[in-house]
């Protein structure tokens, strides 16, 4: 059974990885994963209580500063941060007394050791515990640095190293917490209750306890707990947390409402249409929470490197020590410069900033209604140079309109053809039938001898004559409706679905990003080419079966330079979504098969967000590599300066802490990045394919 608990007190990703490795060794736990950014421990177990007991035991041995929040412990305020602050200030005060006040040797050593312990007791303890387990990390680097500085008489610099390191950790945690809080509302959208009527009284129950068909009441200021249809009331809805759109939308009787929307005014009665586990909000939460498990190659590479990085740093510092000793003949100078190498080489800047940048990019996309299932897909999205679109429901609304009416009887006008067809279709629920009836301008009358011909159309009698509306042959295009009187064809009605206004923006922005656009549709040549040409799509393919779409994408992928994204919304799109480098499904309430097969889900069916996803992905990837290059560059410079004796240990500490903080702040830019909008077309405007 999958479990998830909060975990606090982890101050670096390396610590989290070391703890995760030890937890996975437990026989009572499997697939343990620590999400450092979200402060979550995810794992599978059969006996939860036994697993928690074993995990807590491991934490005591490996990460004594970490704490699990389980059941009654969850939500408790802790004051460990206050203890850390007091300990830090006390350690600095004691250290200043030892260094600045003339004292007997024994008193100096008592104060010095006390100061060193107060400033870095957690660091030393972690270093020792991990070393016993055969693991080393930056805690050992700092511990060796203060021991080495003390051995060569650099007492002040030894204390400053651990003091600045501890201060840096506090500042890093502040920056991380700021980032966490910035997207905290994403993971706290779940309403705590749903209001139903029991024995004439309003009663609050858990959303998971509400059955399909029950009526729930949602008042102003409350979040809609379950998907449903409005049966009473009207309101404005805030859907920004779902779609990223800041403009409220109106809802009234008969409208469908997604869970997670906030009622701004009035009171709604809503008939529930799906269980909580199948609701929009639940799907979004699952996608967001599982995103941390799928890491990019860059993030995984950094994680693997840091496992061996510290050992390599220690070996290289010994090499530096040996070279400097051989050149200068002064062992103290050699040790000092070797210690500078240890301090500068701490991997915190890489280990924290890279996952934080991806986390921020994923959070930013989620706030805009773009659910990316992991940083690996975010990375892949940044490399796309081709986007293939399905047509119906993706670039078009799926709501058909009459595009043209042809009359083959000189005595009948196009309006007469529409009227006759509407007589036969007036009771049909088929989307094409509804569009024809809506296009009719005359009053309808009952007809007799109505018979449905399965898969073909409907026959009926009107004014003593027999009519047929539909398709006499399977070879007729799906969007062409024929009208027959007796056995004579008297007219044709050509329909098409309307192009979404946002589709024009989507294609325009993709061109600006130098992304080639492709239209793959099962519809007929005339309709597909018209839609494709209006949108300015580069490559148009029509009358394709799902298998043929799959084969076309497979053919494109033979060229290793092509990075293809596929955008679709139906169950027939699932194979192509899985084959593409990045599969993008339209709508959180679309086909479950397409959502499962895709790597990115657009909550609100807006194709323009394909371009937005690419922009966020490219921006985040630039930040990741910017952090890597910046951190590596600065560290290399200070390593060189330290080895040559130009800079001292304090400069090394400032370089390490400073570059880490710069990288963290830079990573947080991905959270607030806002791609520029192209406002040439109203996204809500529906533009049809009617002839000019």
Give the CATH number, domain containing residue 34: 3.30.70.100
**Look-up of token digits 């511990």:** 143
Q: Does one domain contain both 454 and 519? A: no
CA distances from 42 to 22, 372, 398, 504 (A): 14, 19, 40, 42
Range of lowest pLDDT (122-131, 178-187, 493-502, 578-587): 178-187
Task: Mention every residue, 6+ apart, whose C-beta is less than 8 A from residue 232.
Answer: 253, 268, 269
Residue 199 CB neighbours (<10 A) = 5
Q: CA nearest 41: which of 74, 95, 3?
A: 3
Q: Does one domain contain both 231 and 375? A: no
Q: Does one domain contain both 402 and 463? A: yes
Task: Mention every residue, 6+ apart, whose C-beta is less than 8 A from residue 217.
Answer: 195, 196, 197, 202, 267, 268, 269, 270
What is the rounded CA–CA span in Å between residue 627 and residue 623? 6
For residue 299, pLDDT over 80 is answered with no
Out of 465, 498, 531, a domain closes at 498
For residue 484, pLDDT over 50 is answered with yes
300 falls within a domain: no
For residue 517, pLDDT over 90 is answered with yes
The mean pLDDT value for 8-34 works out to 80
- Please name every residue paired with 73 in a beta bridge, in sequence order, or none if there are none: none
Range of lowest pLDDT (29-33, 186-190, 489-493): 186-190
The mean pLDDT value for 593-620 works out to 88
For residue 169, pLDDT over 80 is answered with no
578: CATH: 3.40.50.1000
Task: Mention every residue, 6+ apart, whose C-beta is less than 8 A from residue 9.
Answer: 63, 65, 66, 67, 80
Range of lowest pLDDT (137-141, 305-309, 369-373, 573-577): 305-309
Range of lowest pLDDT (181-185, 260-264, 307-311, 488-492): 181-185
Task: Report the range out of 10-14, 16-20, 360-364, 451-455 with the highest average pLDDT.
Answer: 360-364
Q: Does one domain contain both 520 and 541? A: yes
Range of lowest pLDDT (36-40, 489-493, 683-687): 683-687
The answer to whether residues 3 and 44 touch, using CB atoms and an 8 Å cutoff, is yes
Q: Which residues of 227-236 are buried (b: 16+ CB within 10 A; e: fewer)?
A: bbebeebebb
pLDDT over 90 for what percent of the chain? 23
The mean pLDDT value for 218-247 works out to 81
Q: CA nearest 564: which of 546, 539, 589, 586?
A: 539
The mean pLDDT value for 96-122 works out to 91
pLDDT at 682: 35
Q: CA nearest 575: which of 602, 592, 594, 599?
A: 594
Burial class of 626 by CB neighbour count within 10 A (0 to 12, 13 to 18, 19+): middle
The answer to whether residues 444 and 434 touch, using CB atoms and an 8 Å cutoff, is no
Q: What is the mean pLDDT of the chain?
A: 81
pLDDT at 407: 94
For residue 177, pLDDT over 70 is answered with no
Q: Does one domain contain both 537 and 449? A: no
Q: CA nearest 556: which of 576, 537, 573, 532?
A: 576
Q: Does one domain contain both 606 and 511? A: yes
- Taking CB atoms within 8 Å and a gap of at least 24, the contacts of 424-432 are 424/450, 424/457, 424/458, 424/459, 424/460, 424/467, 424/468, 424/469, 425/458, 425/469, 428/458, 431/398, 431/399, 431/400, 432/400, 432/479, 432/481, 432/495
Catalytic residues: 390
Range of lowest pLDDT (530-539, 543-552, 649-658): 649-658
The mean pLDDT value for 112-123 works out to 90
For residue 678, pLDDT over 70 is answered with no
What is the rounded CA–CA span in Å between residue 459 and residue 443? 20
517 falls within a domain: yes
Range of lowest pLDDT (429-433, 440-444, 465-469): 429-433
Task: Mention every residue, 6+ apart, whose C-beta is less than 8 A from residue 373.
Answer: 287, 290, 291, 294, 598, 599, 600, 601
200: CATH: 2.70.150.10
What is the rounded CA–CA span in Å between residue 658 and residue 655? 5
For residue 687, pLDDT over 60 is answered with no
The mean pLDDT value for 375-398 works out to 89
CA distances from 31 to 1, 43, 118, 540 (A): 11, 5, 37, 45
Q: How confident is the model at residue 619 (pLDDT cuts 50, 70, 90)?
A: very high
What is the rounded CA–CA span in Å between residue 279 and residue 277? 6
pLDDT over 70 for what percent of the chain? 84
For residue 478, pLDDT over 70 is answered with no
The answer to whether residues 458 and 428 touch, using CB atoms and an 8 Å cutoff, is yes
Tell me the HSE value of 34 on the side-chain side, using a 13 A CA sphere: 26
pLDDT at 148: 85
Q: Does one domain contain both 391 and 268? A: no
What is the rounded CA–CA span in Å between residue 552 and residue 549? 5
Q: How confident is the model at residue 612 (pLDDT cuts 50, 70, 90)?
A: very high
Out of 78, 98, 116, a domain closes at 78
Q: Does one domain contain both 72 and 207? A: no
Out of 78, 112, 137, a domain closes at 78
Q: How confident is the model at residue 455 (pLDDT cuts 50, 70, 90)?
A: low
- How many separate domains does the chain show? 4
692 falls within a domain: no
CA distances from 519 to 193, 394, 525, 535 (A): 44, 10, 12, 10
For residue 489, pLDDT over 80 is answered with yes
472 falls within a domain: yes
Q: How confident is the model at residue 692 (pLDDT cuts 50, 70, 90)?
A: very low
| φ, ψ dihedrals at 71, nearest 5° | 50, -115
481 falls within a domain: yes
**Look-up of token digits 């190659």:** 297
**Look-up of token digits 């061109």:** 511
Tell me the HSE value of 414 on the side-chain side, using a 13 A CA sphere: 10
The mean pLDDT value for 631-646 works out to 83
- Residue 345 or residue 464, greater confidence: 464
Q: Does one domain contain both 506 and 612? A: yes
CA distances from 228 to 1, 190, 347, 481, 586 (A): 30, 16, 50, 34, 20
Domain range for 260: 194-278
514 falls within a domain: yes
What is the rounded CA–CA span in Å between residue 312 and residue 306? 10
The mean pLDDT value for 457-463 works out to 90
Q: Does one domain contain both 543 and 606? A: yes
For residue 284, pLDDT over 80 is answered with no
Q: Does one domain contain both 504 and 392? A: yes
Q: Does one domain contain both 390 and 520? A: yes
pLDDT at 362: 84
pLDDT at 384: 94
pLDDT at 33: 82
What is the rounded CA–CA span in Å between residue 22 and residue 68? 15
311 falls within a domain: no
606 falls within a domain: yes
Residue 19 CB neighbours (<10 A) = 24
Q: How confident is the model at residue 595 (pLDDT cuts 50, 70, 90)?
A: confident
């Amino acid at each position: 059974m999958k479990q998830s608990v909060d975990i606090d007190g982890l101050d670096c990703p390396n610590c989290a990885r070391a703890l995760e490795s030890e937890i996975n060794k437990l026989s009572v736990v499997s697939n343990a994963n620590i999400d450092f950014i979200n402060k979550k421990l995810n794992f599978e177990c059969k006996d939860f209580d036994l697993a928690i007991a074993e995990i807590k035991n491991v934490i005591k041995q490996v990460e004594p500063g970490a704490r699990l929040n389980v059941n009654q412990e969850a939500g408790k305020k802790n004051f460990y941060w206050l203890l850390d602050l007091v300990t830090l200030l006390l350690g600095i005060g004691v250290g200043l007394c030892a260094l600045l006040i003339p004292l007997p040797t024994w008193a100096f050593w008592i104060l010095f050791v006390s100061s060193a312990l107060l400033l870095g007791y957690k660091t030393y303890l972690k270093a020792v515990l991990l070393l016993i387990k055969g693991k080393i990390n930056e805690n050992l680097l700092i511990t060796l640095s203060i021991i080495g500085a003390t051995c060569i008489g650099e007492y002040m610099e030894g204390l400053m190293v651990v003091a600045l390191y501890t201060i840096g950790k506090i500042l890093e945690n502040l920056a991380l917490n700021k980032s966490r809080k910035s997207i905290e509302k994403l993971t706290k959208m779940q309403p705590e209750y749903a209001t139903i009527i029991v024995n004439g009284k309003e009663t609050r129950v858990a959303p998971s306890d509400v059955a399909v068909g029950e009526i729930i009441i949602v008042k102003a200021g409350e979040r809609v707990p379950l998907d449903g249809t409005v049966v009473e009331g009207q309101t404005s809805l805030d859907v920004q947390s779902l779609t990223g759109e800041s403009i409220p939308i109106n809802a009234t009787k008969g409208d469908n409402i997604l869970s997670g929307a906030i009622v701004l005014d009035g009171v709604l009665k809503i008939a529930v249409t799906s269980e909580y586990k199948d609701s929009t909000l639940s799907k979004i939460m699952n996608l967001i929470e599982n995103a941390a498990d799928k890491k990019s190659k860059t993030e995984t590479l950094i994680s693997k490197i840091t496992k061996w990085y510290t050992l390599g740093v220690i070996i290289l510092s010994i090499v530096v020590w040996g070279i400097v000793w051989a050149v200068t003949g002064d062992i103290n100078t050699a040790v000092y410069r070797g210690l500078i190498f240890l301090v500068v080489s701490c991997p915190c800047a890489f280990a924290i900033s890279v996952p934080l940048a991806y986390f921020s990019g994923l959070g930013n996309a989620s706030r805009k209604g773009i659910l990316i299932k992991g940083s690996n897909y975010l990375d892949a999205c940044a490399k796309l140079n081709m986007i293939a679109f399905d047509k119906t429901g993706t670039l078009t609304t799926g709501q058909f309109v009459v595009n043209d009416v042809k009359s083959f009887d000189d005595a009948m006008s196009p309006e007469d053809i529409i009227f006759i067809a509407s007589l036969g279709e007036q009771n049909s629920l088929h989307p094409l039938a509804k569009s024809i009836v809506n296009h009719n301008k005359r009053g309808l009358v009952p007809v007799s001898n109505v018979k449905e011909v399965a898969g073909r159309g409907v026959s009926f009698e009107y004014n003593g004559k027999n009519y047929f509306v539909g398709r006499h042959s399977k070879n007729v295009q799906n969007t062409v409706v024929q009208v027959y009187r007796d056995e004579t064809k008297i007219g044709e009605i050509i329909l098409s679905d309307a192009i979404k206004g946002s589709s024009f923006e989507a294609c325009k922005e993709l061109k600006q990003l130098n992304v080639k656009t492709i239209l793959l549709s099962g519809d007929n040549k005339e309709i597909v080419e018209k839609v494709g040409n209006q949108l300015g799509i580069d490559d148009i393919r029509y009358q394709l079966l799902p298998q043929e779409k799959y084969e076309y994408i497979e053919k494109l992928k033979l060229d290793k330079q092509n990075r293809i994204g596929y955008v679709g919304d139906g169950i027939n799109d699932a194979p192509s979504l899985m084959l593409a480098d990045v599969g993008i499904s339209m709508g959180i309430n679309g086909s479950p098969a397409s959502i499962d097969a895709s790597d990115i889900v657009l909550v609100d069916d807006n194709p323009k967000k394909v371009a937005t996803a690419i922009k966020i992905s490219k921006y985040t990837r630039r930040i990741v590599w910017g952090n890597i290059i910046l951190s590596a560059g600065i560290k290399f410079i200070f390593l060189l300066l330290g080895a040559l004796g130009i800079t001292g240990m304090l400069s090394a500490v400032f370089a390490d802490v400073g570059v880490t903080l710069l990288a963290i702040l830079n990573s947080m830019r991905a959270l607030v990045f806002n791609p520029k909008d192209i406002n040439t077309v109203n996204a809500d405007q529906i533009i049809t394919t009617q002839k000019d």
